[in-house]
Structure 1
Amino acid sequence: MRPLTFVDVCSGAGGLALGLEQAGFAPRLLLDDDELAVTTLRTNRPHWNVLHTDLLDFDPAEHPVSYDVDLLSAGLPRVKSSATVGRTDSRAEERLLEAAVLLVHAIRPRAVLIENVPGLAHQGEYQRFRDFARAELAHLGYEFSWFVVNAVDFGVPQNRKQGVLIAIERNRAQEFRPPSPTVQEPTTVGATLGPSMAARGWRDAAGWAAQADEPAPTLVGGSKNRGGADLGPTGAKRKWATMGVNGHTVADDVPGPDFVWDPALGMDNMVKITADQAALLQGFPASWEIAGRKTARYRQIGHATPPPVAQALGRAVVEALEGHPAVPAAG
Structure 2
Amino acid sequence: MTTKTTSLRSVAVCAGAGGLALGLEEAGFEPVLLLDNRTVACDTLRVNRPAWNVLELDLLDFDPADYQSTYDVDLLAAGLPRVKATASVRRTERDDELEVLKATIMLMHGIRPRALLIENVPDLVTKPAYEPIREYVAKELTHLGYSLHWFVLNAVDFGVAQDRKQGVLVALDAALPNSFTAPGASVTRPRTVGEALGPSMAARGWPQSVTWAAQADRPAPTLVGGSWNRGGADLGPTGSKRAWARMGVDGGTVADDVPGPDFVWDPSIGRPGMMPLTVHQAAALQGFPPDWIFAGRKTAQYRQVGHASPPPVGRALGDALKAALASSPRTAGNL
One fold, TM greater than 0.5? yes
TM-score, structure 1 as length reference: 0.95
Among 287, 303, 307, which residue is 2:307 paired with? 303
Q: CA, structure 1 residues 72+84, in 2 after alignment: closer, same or farther (shift >3 Å)?
A: closer
> Is the 2:88–2:132 Cα contact (8 Å) retained in structure 1?
no
Q: How many Å separate the matches in 2 of 1:14 and 1:178? A: 22
Stretches of structure 2 lacking an aligned partner (at least 5 in a row):
330-335
Residue in 1 aligned with 2:71? 67
TM-score, structure 2 as length reference: 0.94
Residue in 1 aligned with 2:258? 254
Q: CA, structure 1 residues 245+46, in 2 after alignment: closer, same or farther (shift >3 Å)?
A: same
Q: What does residue range 233-272 of structure 1 map to in structure 2 within 5 Å?
A: 233-272=237-276
Residue in 2 aligned with 1:328? none
Residue in 2 aligned with 1:105? 109
Q: Which moves more between the two structures, 127-136 or 284-293? A: 127-136
- Residue 323 of structure 1 and its aligned partner are, at CA, apart by 3.7
Among 196, 202, 212, which residue is 2:206 paired with? 202
Residue in 2 aligned with 1:186? 190
Residue in 1 aligned with 2:332? none
Say which structure, 1 or 2, has more relative contact order (CA 8 Å, 6+ apart).
1
- Residue 128 of structure 1 and its aligned partner are, at CA, apart by 1.4
- Residue 324 of structure 1 and its aligned partner are, at CA, apart by 10
Residue in 1 aligned with 2:225? 221
Q: CA, structure 1 residues 90+248, in 2 after alignment: closer, same or farther (shift >3 Å)?
A: farther
Residue in 1 aligned with 2:317? 313
User: What percent of counterpart residues are identical?
Assistant: 62
Q: CA, structure 1 residues 300+86, in 2 after alignment: closer, same or farther (shift >3 Å)?
A: farther
Q: Does 1:48 align with 2:52?
A: yes
Give the 4+ runs in structure 1 shifted more than 4 A.
Answer: 83-90
> Is the 1:84–1:90 Cα contact (8 Å) retained in structure 2?
no
| Per-residue CA distance 1:213-272 (angstroms, 9 max, x = gap) | 110000000111221000001111110011000101111110110001000011111121
Give the residue type in structure 1 aligned to 2:272.
D
Q: Does 1:276 align with 2:287?
A: no
Residue in 2 aligned with 1:136? 140
Q: CA, structure 1 residues 295+105, in 2 after alignment: closer, same or farther (shift >3 Å)?
A: same
User: What is the CA RMSD across the aligned residues, in angstroms?
Assistant: 1.8
Q: How many Å separate the matches in 2 of 1:142 and 1:171? A: 8
Give the residue type in structure 1 aligned to 2:131.
Q
Q: Which moves more between the two structures, 77-86 or 20-29? A: 77-86
Q: How many Å separate the matches in 1 of 2:89 and 2:144? A: 28
Stretches of structure 1 lacking an aligned partner (at least 5 in a row):
326-331
Residue in 1 aligned with 2:289? 285
Task: Name the count of aligned residue pairs.
Answer: 325
